A = this chain, B = another copy of it.
């Protein structure tokens, strides 16, 4: 299971607990996670099994609505909450050039972190992206001078530069909206969650 499936499912359990698999399946499908994170229903049930085996979530009995099939209820364990925050922070502080999933997962769960941490991380991300764009620029120039590299490799760098610039612009916009007071983060007045500090 890619980290993203675990992050998304653990985050969703945290958000909706106590919760059963079928609810998560329906909820996550409305998020279109099958499109942006490639998570199919089968993977959700598998993630639940695996997260349970790792002790990050636990069963809290079963129930049935009417004469419907029984459903298993899950909730996070204290270790699960710690692990979720760890995965979330790791995602927040890492810029992936090609994989779009992490950033999508971030937007879904960043409200579990404090406003100040998210603001700091966004600043960091903008610097990182700058560096990657710059190094990409040199790569494009190199391809132009090289006699062995196929010419079309230039297009790969061109495309990833443009993608990074998009990511950059998004980070900038989000930074502005957040510092302007938009959205509710952990620890904010009105938030239902307290920030969990790293150990």
Contact = CB atoms under 8 A, between A and B. Distances in A.
A111 B152 contact: yes
A103 to B, nearest CB: 6
Contact of A100 (B99, B152, B165): B99
Which secondary structure dominates chain A's binding surface?
helix
A114 to B, nearest CB: 15
B152 A183 contact: yes
A155 B103 CA distance: 10
Interface string A150-162: 0110011011101
Contacts of A151: 182-183
Interface string A58-96: 000000000000000000000000000000000000000
Q: How many monomers of this protein are in the complex?
A: 2
A170 B158 contact: yes
A192 to B, nearest CB: 12
B166 A98 contact: no
A197 interface: no
Contacts of A182: 151
A198 interface: no
Contacts of A159: 103-104, 107, 166-167, 170
A-B pairs, top 4 by smallest CB distance, nearest first, are A166-B166, A162-B166, A36-B98, A107-B155
Given A36-B160, A103-B159, A107-B155, 19 more contacts: A98-B100, A99-B100, A100-B100, A104-B159, A107-B152, A108-B156, A110-B152, A111-B152, A151-B182, A155-B174, A158-B170, A159-B167, A162-B167, A162-B169, A162-B170, A163-B163, A163-B166, A165-B166, A166-B166
